[in-house]
Amino acid sequence: MSKHTETLKSEFLGGISPTTHFEVLFDHLPGVSFFAKNRDFQIVSANRAFWERLGGSSESDVIGKNDFELFPEQLARKFREDDEQVIATGKPKLKIVELFFNLQGLPDWYFTNKFPVFGRGGSVIGVMGTVQSYSGGRSALTPHLQIDRAVSYIRDHFHEAVNLTDLAKRTGMSVRQFNRRFREVFGTNPRTFLIKTRIQAACEVLRSSDKAIAEIALDFGFCDQSAFTQHFRKHMGLTPAAYRKRS
């Protein structure tokens, strides 16, 4: 950016009234939630889609609250880790794939982008971000319709044996092409995406039932309890048994 354009931009931003709120723009972007938090991780700004999704009747219903007051502990813990990283590094985290399970037990994927908020002195004073559902914004998020076929299949069959070679064939692409294009959209490879989906689904069962861990492992496509425990520890930071006790 040239010195002239930097000056032009800074003059404009410096002249904006404190009563001007850019976040209202997000009220007119269907399916996009916007939020901003201070360094204490309290919500200080949110658009209509954000507070309505949480059952609020106005923005004031979420102002001053943190994720642990608004979401289940498992999700809040993950949100906090991402926020802490953005604030500590001053760098954004983009295309974070979050999974939520609906009442039918099917996964809904959300893309979250988080950015640091800098104060006048140059230090990070908070974090802001957007959240968009995959299903609600698939036309923008998926440049290749073939990828959507694979995602839909994973959504319906993640608890079964899913062969990634067969998954690629469903999209009409080679395995190499499929992996590359899937990573472009989701920021991870299909195998990791599938495993993460299974782990999140297993978390729901671990919290809500006394079903044996070995049985849960088989129910969600893992070859045995050992493999399930290995992947669970990698993604959740603790074993399934420890997670169940803590929940």
Q: Each residue of 20-71: pLDDT tens digit? A: 777 778 888 878 899 999 999 999 999 998 998 888 999 999 999 999 999 8
pLDDT in tens, 8-22: 878 887 787 777 777
Shared domain for 167 and 113, answered yes or no, is: no
**What is the C-alpha to C-alpha distance for residues 29 and 72, in angstroms, rounded to an integer?**
26
Extended strands (E) in 102-238: 107-118, 124-133
Q: Which among 90, 115, 133 is the end of a domain?
A: 133
Beta bridge partners of 113: 130
**What is the C-alpha to C-alpha distance for residues 152 and 240, in angstroms, rounded to an integer?**
27
**What is the C-alpha to C-alpha distance for residues 34 and 25, in angstroms, rounded to an integer?**
10
pLDDT in tens, 71-105: 877 778 889 999 999 999 999 998 887 776 655 55
Instruction: Provide the 3-class DSSP secondary structure of residue 58.
Output: coil
| pLDDT for the residue numbered 72 | 76
Instruction: Tell me whether residue 69 is exposed, middle or buried, using C-beta atoms within 10 angstroms of its C-beta: 0 to 12, 13 to 18, 19 or more.
Output: exposed
Is the pLDDT at 240 greater than 80? The verdict is yes
pLDDT in tens, 132-171: 877 655 555 445 567 888 888 998 899 888 999 999 999 9
Shared domain for 54 and 87, answered yes or no, is: yes
Parent domain of 59: 3-133
Rounded to 5 degrees, what are φ and ψ at 182? -65, -45
Assign residue 221 the CATH number of its domain.
1.10.10.60
Is the pLDDT at 124 greater than 70? The verdict is yes
Q: How many CB atoms neighbour CB 178 within 10 A? A: 24
Shared domain for 65 and 149, answered yes or no, is: no
